[in-house]
Amino acid sequence: MVPGAGIEPARACAQGILSPSRLPVPPPGLCGKIGRVNYNIGKFTGLHNVFERWKMNVRVGFIGGGNMAEAFIDAFVNGEFLLPDQISVSDINGERLKYLEEKYGIKTFNSNVQVVVNSDIVFLAVKPQVMTSVLREITETITPVQVIVSMAAGYPIRKIEEIIGDDKKIVRIMPNILVKIRKGVTAFCHNFRLLDKDIKLVKELLSTCSEVVDVDEKLFDGVTALSGSGPAFIFLVIEALSDGGVKAGLPRETAVKLAVETIVGSAEMVKAGEHPEVLKDKVTSPAGTTIAGLSALEENRTRYAFIKAVEEAYKRSVEISRLIEEM
């Protein structure tokens, strides 16, 4: 039950008695955000985000307030899935903390321990090089009830357990920066200490801003290379397509818009279920413009370049993982 919330008795209306027969009364201070109720279809118009936020009755902390942490914070707060006072963050940079507090209204601490004390779920959003020292700092404060969520590349669950104990609930994720616009994808794995309700809660939280994909931990280096580094590869494609449009005489603004919308729409068609190769063939007419362009891409080994980009990113991720293992 949300503090200050209650149940409003059923009322008659022009279309009859409400169904369901009772409606939740919003907590104080949220009334201004409530939209109207569409009684005909039994759904709430404009209420979805508020109700979703009520369900997320959990305190979330971030140790590390960098770009990825801010991406999650931005999605949670501006997507109205968590209230600002449900979120706390610590960072070694005082100016960064001031910025996050002023922009999002969240709690900030200079102490990592204070974040743990004030959180049910703790995100470790620090670089892998400092993970060991951070874990040692907070190990005496972490309880078996809390869930620790690590997003440090190359830092395995086993190594976290060695420091804070294998009786702790540990999740490892690999998100990408697209969580900031609630279009991200996050790889997910966990140790055996999590209960089903813990897994459900963390996944619900992550799904507010990304697709959550269960991935075996041994495949995380591949995830890092593809979806972690992938946005940068796509940004390069957008830039290159835009340059091509400008070379063909289009204004820069128009070229960028056309490139962006083409990629977004193409991705949606693939998500609808058809294989990229099938869709490509549908666009490619005999002796047409598309096959001429595709021929140029193949001649310049563009397909291989993208495969190689993922491969090299994967190799670097493996290198980082090995270095961490040796620490």
Residues 268-314 have pLDDT tens digits of 999 999 999 999 999 999 999 999 999 999 999 999 999 999 999 99
Contact between residue 31 and residue 48 where contact means Cβ atoms under 8 Å apart? no
pLDDT of residue 185: 97
pLDDT of residue 324: 84
**Banded model confidence at residue 56, pLDDT cuts 50, 70, 90:** low
Rounded to two decimals, the pTM is 0.79
Amino acid at 40: N
Look at residue 191 and give its three-state secondary structure.
coil
Q: Is the model more confident about 188 or about 324?
A: 188
Look at residue 215 and give its three-state secondary structure.
coil
- DSSP one-letter code for 150: E
- Which CATH fold topology does 56-218 show? Rossmann fold (3.40.50)
H or E segment to which residue 24 belongs:
strand 23-25
Domain 56-218 and domain 230-313 have a common topology: no
**Structural domain boundaries of the chain?**
6-43, 56-218, 230-313
CA–CA dist 196, 288 (Å, integer): 54
- Which CATH fold topology does 230-313 show? ProC C-terminal domain-like fold (1.10.3730)
Residues 229-263 have pLDDT tens digits of 999 999 999 999 999 999 999 999 999 999 999 99
